[in-house]
Amino acid sequence: MPSDVIFALASGAGRAAVAVLRASGAGTAAVVAALAGRLPAPRMASLRRLRHPATGEVLDEALVLWFPAPASYTGEDSAEFQVHGGPAVVAGVAEALVAAGARPAEPGEFTRRAFVQGRLDLTAAEGVADLIEAETAAQRRQALRQAGGALATLYGGWAGQLTALLARQEAFIEFEDEDLPSGLDDAVGQAAATLHDAILRHLADGRRGERLREGLRVAILGAPNAGKSSLLNALVGREAAIVSARAGTTRDVVEARLDLGGVPVTLADTAGLREAADEIEAEGIRRARDRAADADLRLLVLAADQPPDAETLGWLAPGDLVVLSKADLPAVPGLPAGLRVSARTGEGLSGLRSRLEAEAVARAGGVAETLLTRPRHRAALQEAAEWLAALDGASLPELRAEALRAALRAVGRITGRVGVEAVLDSVFAQFCIGK
């Protein structure tokens, strides 16, 4: 268990009215006393004059809070210094903390210590990281549910069921000749099959939790001069892409961020799909094809005043949303069904936005549900499901027990209860300094 004192700026960088530096570790009491003279009453703000422990120089008048273990975020002795937010004040207090024996924290080190101390499990720690990064209300709600233990409760319940099943299977092996209840082995198999089905239903979520956490990717495709860039600008309400009557103006992928129904969406305006005029345009078209392949939703934009060419129509795939741009101009016959939109007059834009919002919510909604949010969760649950499926074909009780044990290890890796050393660094490295 770590015993050294760490500290970090927990508030934003730059000038502010107040800046918060937090410290944690077994020696925090001595560090606080070195700067503030003595410890304040637990969990009560106390106005103190902070001094440099080596020189005695007055650094600031600040509010100091003391949180003795285990009633703190990390579960260790902790403290907060609420100082004036000027850069010189923050730098001076940070230097004093180092002089008092503390060291700057690594990314995610506070939350990692909370995990080590049993204050939260690994899914809750990831929820805290997601809460810090949340851009939209839906992301915030999902992160709060996870940080509050929704996933831990679900996966912990499954781990408990697997533990009970493993105990029963081991009892059958160890005491096969004893007077055990009849059908014990069969009952284990039936319960494992029920759990297997529950895990598969959880996995069949359309990746909505992962999509909400990461954001949806929407690619805008079409021929040159179809109105793709104008449509992007109209949807985001600013000139994110250059608009020109010259074909092939868009050579690279132009991205803009949008909040649709609480779902973060990245709109990508791509190069016009046609035979490239030069190597630069060819690269832009290649990137457009790659973006189309990776997109969660594709908008195929056709100019209403031009007959659609066969190459562009060849891109139309099931699930694509057809947008007929330049609706303020006379339409030509032979166009496929689609949403008529004019970036010039605003016609149809509210309808398109509503349709996009519905599509975004359908693909990444369901924040009231307990959805898995990371690829590592999915991989571990798929492994657990495979081991439970193998249980049915295992003839020997020892093999059935090993399958249950492996499934338990896989589920335990998600919450961090077993076999997690290999994933801890990658999880907590995603945190900001001070959390």
Task: Write out the binding residues for GTP.
Answer: 225-230, 244-250, 269-272, 342-344
Residue 45 in 3-state DSSP? Answer: coil
For 312, other C-beta atoms within 10 Å of its C-beta total 21
Residue 383 in 3-state DSSP? Answer: helix
Around 310, how many Cα atoms within 13 Å sit in the side-chain half-sphere?
A: 0
Q: φ, ψ for residue 335 (rounded to 5)? A: -80, 145
Q: How far is C-alpha 82 from the geometric centre of its chain's CA atoms?
A: 30
Q: How far is CA 318 from CA 298, 340, 358, in A?
A: 10, 19, 17
CB 123 within 8 A of CB 414: yes
Rounded Cα–Cα distance for residues 317 and 403 (Å): 42
End-to-end CA distance of the chain: give it in Å, rounded: 18
CB 226 within 8 A of CB 300: no
CB 102 within 8 A of CB 6: yes
Rounded Cα–Cα distance for residues 97 and 8 (Å): 10
Extract the annotated binding site.
22, 80, 119, 225-230, 244-250, 269-272, 342-344, 435
CB 120 within 8 A of CB 113: no
Rounded Cα–Cα distance for residues 227 and 206 (Å): 31
Rounded Cα–Cα distance for residues 61 and 82 (Å): 9
Please give the angle made by the CA atoms of 19, 25 and 31, to the nearest 5 degrees: 65
What is 246-289 written as a DSSP string?
STT---S-EEEEEEETTEEEEEEE----S--SSHHHHHHHHHHH
- What type of residue is 56? G
Tokens of 71: 């009633």
Q: How far is CA 122 from CA 109, 413, 418, in A?
A: 13, 9, 11
Rounded Cα–Cα distance for residues 315 and 44 (Å): 64
Tokens of 198: 């529950």
Extract the annotated binding site for (6S)-5-formyl-5,6,7,8-tetrahydrofolate.
22, 80, 119, 435
Characterize 38-53 residue by residue with b for buried, 16 or more Cβ atoms within 10 angstroms of its Cβ, and e for exposed: ebbeeeeeeebebbbb
Q: Kindly give the pairing relationship between strand 339-340 and strand 263-269.
A: unpaired
